[in-house]
Structure 1
């Protein structure tokens, strides 16, 4: 009969002290980066750590300090969009860079279903993170409500109206959408439609509002198709709907580059030349913009900087205990290429 497997005994701080021939207190001072330890003792302790295989018990340390050393990045998107959207990846990398610089660990949490929401709320209540950054928060978002209730330092990427108390980092989606639509109008096109998306959050609503601002009295609500997600597939569906409604359409503003890429795919399959027959513009200046043929005219938003700035604000609140309310707006620019 096989012997039951037992977990190897974990080396302790006492093992390190015994191997190095110093006191436990001296080992503790070295581990905590404190001064007043001789160079010879420090070298002996470092050699002992290597020899006995000591690994610091982070959980015990966190319990003592009431700090986890981690910040959650909570992405409220379906799994498919999380993988497909380059902006989310850029936000994640920007967040991670800022947290790493401060010696904090990034914890990624993805919310796709109601069950995910319940699981994440329970996790947040367990004290596993010191702060949180929420990407794509919806109106009446239970995650934002839970973070406020738990008093966890939180910053939103975007600015839902139902959580005005939480600081946020964003761009001026409305002005940016107006500016690129005005450039599209200036090319002489008169039948311009929009594939709008994500109208349950501020970015989607503001981009539609900017499109409407640019067209003024020429705005035609029948030339706006509403799709749920910033995705390639949604762009395909939206473009088919626009062509059914207005076969003579000659300009399209897509609410994201991924949507624009889907629209271009459908237009080319329909025999439409871009930009000769239909001019197409997008939003984000993500990798999708350069995958399109021709390359996509779009709005460049600093996705990596959005993540980094959100991380900086969270870390500031963790350190000081003071929340800075309000919205930090980062600049955008129109990047004009051959698609329009």
Structure 2
């Protein structure tokens, strides 16, 4: 009999008896409701600790009609999910904010059309209360799905077709213009760009900033477009630029991973950096300090982007008025020895 008592899970009734309050009062405290005195709350907290009560998460979700989970959807190939430190930092920032609010984070990767179809079905199942979307493109099927389901949503980045949905971003165009101008001020005259991800706002805006910085000196032949913000694409982009324009003396790579790949190609080609050619990146990620020389770049506050996006979703879930639908975070230039 004693063994059975030890195995029996403590219930709300046990807490109520121990605290000397009604079961309804215990339920109000467990569900975060108001109108419970501080004395009763203290008694209930003490009773929970004494009887070893563990809330039934599934039952609580049914009562509150919430799953206590938020999905973070990364619309990138799985290889880039592992390679790109910005994605990891966004994830950590979001998880930190969600954890503080007692929410779980479900990390979801949209790597293929099959993934997108599967995720669309998953989102409609009521298993998550809201979503954070990273790397959405215009016309994205995931964007259409969350809009149709009316899920609380925040984007990291600003696709142009999300209407009034909440988003957290940086000013990619202004930052790219500023670092390209800084590169040009070092005396470079033949400046090219490895431009990635032109199918989403970050890539297109960085190209626009590069073009604006150069003005009449912009030469479209010195822009090499690549699919992803990846080390391998940086290598391939730099090889193509060197073959097409061997007199190139400056490069803006639209991510640090691209710049790191480009630097390896330059070293193998016998080009001295920064003496023969200056190179700058974008992100100030761990790639920047792995480079030789260390990379001049734009500091992207990836952890803060993730946290701010999570907080925006939580406000929507709680039915609170948004602080603002659009949040733009600062992204200063960090100047090092690569240019």
The TM-score normalised by the length of structure 2 is 0.89
Which stretch of structure 1 is more off in the superposition, 244-253 or 30-39? Answer: 30-39
Q: Distance in 2 between matches of 1:222 and 1:41?
A: 71
Which stretch of structure 1 is more off in the superposition, 106-115 or 220-229? Answer: 106-115
Q: Tell me the residue number matched to 1:11.
A: 9
Q: Would the alpha carbon gap of residues 14 and 38 (structure 1) be closer, same or farther in structure 2, given more than 3 Å must change?
A: closer
Q: Tell me the residue number matched to 1:218.
A: 217
- Shift in Å at residue 167 of structure 1? 1.7
- Shift in Å at residue 57 of structure 1? 2.1
Q: Counterparts of 1:1-340 in structure 2 under 5 Å?
A: 11=9, 13=11, 16=14, 25=23, 28=27, 31-32=30-31, 35=37, 37=40, 43=46, 45-49=48-52, 55-320=54-319, 322=321, 326-340=325-339
- Shift in Å at residue 321 of structure 1? 5.6
- Shift in Å at residue 17 of structure 1? 6.3
Q: Tell me the residue number matched to 1:6.
A: none
User: 1:22-53: per-residue Cα shift (whole Å, max 9, x none)?
Assistant: 8882764674575564977765553332xxxx
Contact 2:31/2:64 (8 A) holds in 1: no
- Shift in Å at residue 246 of structure 1? 0.8
What is the Cα-based RMSD across aligned positions, in Å?
2.4
Contact 1:297/1:338 (8 A) holds in 2: yes
User: 1:59-82: per-residue Cα shift (whole Å, max 9, x none)?
Assistant: 121111111112111111111111
Q: Tell me the residue number matched to 2:4.
A: none
Question: Aligned residues, how many?
Answer: 328
Q: Secondary structure of the residue that 1:276 maps to in structure 2?
A: coil
Q: Would the alpha carbon gap of residues 281 and 14 (structure 1) be closer, same or farther in structure 2, given more than 3 Å must change?
A: closer
Q: Distance in 2 between matches of 1:186 and 1:30?
A: 62
Q: Secondary structure of the residue that 1:329 maps to in structure 2?
A: strand
Q: Secondary structure of the residue that 2:298 maps to in structure 1?
A: strand
- 5+ residue gaps in structure 1? 1-8
Which stretch of structure 1 is more off in the superposition, 159-168 or 222-231? Answer: 159-168
Contact 1:302/1:332 (8 A) holds in 2: yes
Contact 1:167/1:324 (8 A) holds in 2: no
Q: Distance in 2 between matches of 1:299 and 1:40?
A: 53
Q: Secondary structure of the residue that 1:195 maps to in structure 2?
A: strand
Q: Distance in 2 between matches of 1:200 and 1:274?
A: 30
Q: Would the alpha carbon gap of residues 189 and 306 (structure 1) be closer, same or farther in structure 2, given more than 3 Å must change?
A: same
Q: Secondary structure of the residue that 1:308 maps to in structure 2?
A: helix
Contact 1:233/1:259 (8 A) holds in 2: yes
Q: Distance in 2 between matches of 1:38 and 1:266?
A: 64
Q: Secondary structure of the residue that 1:320 maps to in structure 2?
A: coil
- Shift in Å at residue 113 of structure 1? 1.0
Q: Distance in 1 between matches of 2:193 and 2:42?
A: 68
Q: Distance in 2 between matches of 1:306 and 1:41?
A: 37
Q: Distance in 2 between matches of 1:91 and 1:324?
A: 20
Contact 1:16/1:27 (8 A) holds in 2: no
User: 1:205-237: per-residue Cα shift (whole Å, max 9, x none)?
Assistant: 000011111111111111111100001011001
Q: Would the alpha carbon gap of residues 166 and 41 (structure 1) be closer, same or farther in structure 2, given more than 3 Å must change?
A: closer
Q: Distance in 2 between matches of 1:103 and 1:309?
A: 16
Q: Distance in 2 between matches of 1:12 and 1:297?
A: 59
- Shift in Å at residue 244 of structure 1? 1.0
The TM-score normalised by the length of structure 1 is 0.89
Contact 1:274/1:280 (8 A) holds in 2: yes
